[in-house]
Structure 1
Amino acid sequence: MRDLSVAVFRPDDGRLESAVELIDSLGARAIADPMLAVEPTGAAPREDADYAILTSKTGAELVADAGWDPGPSTVVAIGPSTGDALGDEGYEVGLVPGEYSSTGLVEALGGRVPGTRVEVARSDHGSPVLTDGLEAAGAYVHETVLYRLVRPEGSGISAERAAAGDVDAAAFTSSLTVDHFLEAAADRGVREEAIEGLSGAVVGAIGEPTRETAESYGIGVEVVPEDADAEQLLCAVVERAAPTRYE
């Protein structure tokens, strides 16, 4: 019996290696296929806001590299992973929402931000749910694009494997990884076959927006972890695909 094969799409910047090691530790075999690459813009967040929101570990590292000083800002992290990354860079995190998402940030900050200046520092693919929600709550919102997310050259081996029926599970960590997976499949001439191949696999999405994106393309999603956390997602996908390993 062949090993359980799990397609994973993390950026090839340490996160992919960690994901592969985790999948291996769970007794499965990773199909490592990075669907995102980071292109820094060189921009830095404003230093005069009341609240400064960071939404990723990558963003935390880039603002530190830029020598960003939050000044009087209350630093807000979208979730514990981002909060830990900010802490590692020497920033004091004042708030992490209970729900690790743009919606969770709006809910956590909505009552605090009327009349305040809010800095949002993130990628070029950030959800408008965050900025629109904070503006609707009465904040003056400024957004800084710290980095762009692009599809790496050569991506798509997982699409070919899915088209051949050789993917047992797949873990999408953002809507953009879904988009890029399908773009890579189309480039290789196997888009419809890859979607069909995933119908026989256990597909996981890191959160509801990612699930909605996948399902809008006809990709059924079985697993969404309680928290929007990549490690939780991978563990849940492997457990669903091979429950006997945990009995």
Structure 2
Amino acid sequence: MKKIAVTRPKVFLPATIEYLRSKGLEPVPVPMMEMVPRKDGGVEAFISRLNSGDVDTVILTSQNGVRFIMEQAGDANEFIDKLNSVDVLAIGPKTNKVLAEFGIKADRMPSTFSSEGIVKEFCFHLAGKKVEVLRSNQGNPILITGLTEKGAIVKETIIYDIVPLSGREQEGFVREAISGDIDAFTFTSTMTAKSLLMMGESMGMLNELKAAINSKKVAVIGNPTADFLIKNGIRVDVVPEKFTFEDMIEELEKVL
């Protein structure tokens, strides 16, 4: 049974472990980052603009962003009604699913589940529109610059911060990786990759860690994650066309 390293946040690990085992794979889970809701008044300012009718389109880039903003929405029913009165874009099916669970209808979703996909497919439709982007502090800058360059009036609200994790669990994972006992490494974001390399560097084992990863298979979600790893001397074997964990694993199985 192939061992697959999973570096996702802890909230996703139970479902991820179950999914990998259903595929006949053995998960090696370690959270390399966590998501912390930001409470700096940004959400309140967005809701005020929404309530005043100063919003044409809302872009939600992750299921986490949806959940965090609902936690801060106050009168949830009123907020949902207001969102449903404007144009809502979801970046992928999982974000769309969580929106639907709250009774929010996404009007559009790019065929490529990424910031690049939104810019490529909807930039001309959004020209001249007041667009609100709700996402993490690690969002791809191309979403803001791409829409702005095409004439959209964009405001970005950071809903939550992505922060690296370091501790005994992460140290133990680095040592296991270096031992060569893992068959493939998966990274669902740039921060999961960056956090792992930071952990290796802090332990004085960065070169050994990179060599261990390069001796196995590497699968990532998103071109920014792939670019980061390549720039840091790590080969990338799989970048799925659709940016979901399931698609990444299906592509990874083909090269294992």
The TM-score with structure 1 as length reference comes to 0.91
CA distance 1:96–1:116, change in 2 (3 Å): same
CA distance 1:207–1:37, change in 2 (3 Å): same
Residue matched to 1:95: 108
Q: Which moved more, 1:203-212 or 1:141-150?
A: 203-212
C-alpha separation between the residues in 1 aligned to 2:254 and 2:143?
32
C-alpha separation between the residues in 2 aligned to 1:73 and 1:96?
15
Residue matched to 1:244: none
C-alpha separation between the residues in 1 aligned to 2:186 and 2:4?
8
Identical residues among aligned pairs (%): 32
Counterpart residue type for residue 4 of structure 1: K
1:211 aligns with 2:226: yes
Question: Which structure has the highest helix share of the two?
Answer: 2
Residue matched to 1:40: 37
Which residue of 99, 113, 128 corresponds with 2:141? Answer: 128
C-alpha separation between the residues in 1 aligned to 2:136 and 2:230?
24
**Contact 1:49/1:72 (CA < 8 Å) preserved in 2?**
no
**Contact 1:53/1:120 (CA < 8 Å) preserved in 2?**
yes
Counterpart residue type for residue 128 of structure 2: G
Secondary structure in structure 2 of the residue aligned to 1:186: helix
Residue matched to 2:76: none
1:49 aligns with 2:58: no
C-alpha separation between the residues in 2 aligned to 1:140 and 1:225?
31
Secondary structure in structure 1 of the residue aligned to 2:180: coil
C-alpha separation between the residues in 2 aligned to 1:168 and 1:129?
33
C-alpha separation between the residues in 2 aligned to 1:201 and 1:147?
33
**Contact 2:136/2:162 (CA < 8 Å) preserved in 1?**
yes
CA distance 1:38–1:50, change in 2 (3 Å): same
C-alpha separation between the residues in 2 aligned to 1:89 and 1:137?
31
CA distance 1:23–1:239, change in 2 (3 Å): farther
C-alpha separation between the residues in 1 aligned to 2:124 and 2:163?
35
Q: Deviations over 1:125-163 (max 9, x none)?
A: 111100000100101110000000011242243322222
1:201 aligns with 2:216: yes
Which residue of 226, 230, 239 corresponds with 2:245? Answer: 230
1:18 aligns with 2:33: no
C-alpha separation between the residues in 1 aligned to 2:19 and 2:236?
21
Q: Give the number of equivalent residue pairs.
A: 238
Task: Give ranges in structure 2 of 5+ residues lacking alignment.
Answer: 74-78
C-alpha separation between the residues in 1 aligned to 2:250 and 2:102?
28
Residue matched to 2:131: 118
Residue matched to 1:140: 153
By how many angstroms is 1:71 displaced? 6.1
By how many angstroms is 1:12 displaced? 0.5
Counterpart residue type for residue 3 of structure 2: S
Moved over 6 A (4+): none
C-alpha separation between the residues in 1 aligned to 2:234 and 2:16?
22
**Contact 1:160/1:188 (CA < 8 Å) preserved in 2?**
no
Counterpart residue type for residue 131 of structure 2: V
C-alpha separation between the residues in 2 aligned to 1:112 and 1:157?
49
C-alpha separation between the residues in 1 aligned to 2:18 and 2:172?
19
Which residue of 154, 168, 173 corresponds with 2:188? Answer: 173
1:82 aligns with 2:95: yes
Counterpart residue type for residue 222 of structure 2: G
Secondary structure in structure 1 of the residue aligned to 2:173: helix
Secondary structure in structure 2 of the residue aligned to 1:228: coil
Counterpart residue type for residue 57 of structure 2: Y
Q: Which moved more, 1:19-28 or 1:169-178?
A: 19-28
C-alpha separation between the residues in 2 aligned to 1:79 and 1:184?
30
By how many angstroms is 1:239 displaced? 4.1
